[in-house]
Homo-oligomer: A and B are copies of this chain.
Amino acid sequence: MAQDEQGSDRGAALAAFFVLFNEIGILAQLSAAMFEARMPPGHLTSQFALLNHLIRVRDGRTPLELARAFQVPKTTMTHTIALLEKRGHIAVRPNPEDGRSKQVWLTDAGRAFREQALAAMAPDIMELAAAFPPEKAAALLPGLTELRKLLDERRDG
Contact = CB atoms under 8 A, between A and B. Distances in A.
A28 to B, nearest CB: 4
A32 interface: yes
6 contacts: A13-B125, A23-B145, A28-B29, A124-B154, A140-B143, A140-B147
Interface of A: 10, 12-14, 16-35, 45, 49, 52, 70-72, 118, 121-122, 124-129, 131-132, 134-141, 143-148, 150-152, 154-155
Per DSSP, chain A at the interface is helix
A127 B10 CA distance: 11
B140 A144 contact: yes
B31 A128 contact: no
Nearest to A72: B29
A26 B23 CA distance: 13
Nearest to A127: B154
Contact of A71 (B30, B121, B144, B147): B30
Nearest to A20: B137
Nearest to A143: B140
A98 B141 CA distance: 44
A155 B25 contact: no
A128 B145 CA distance: 14
Given A20-B141, A23-B148, A24-B144, 5 more contacts: A13-B134, A21-B27, A23-B144, A26-B70, A132-B146
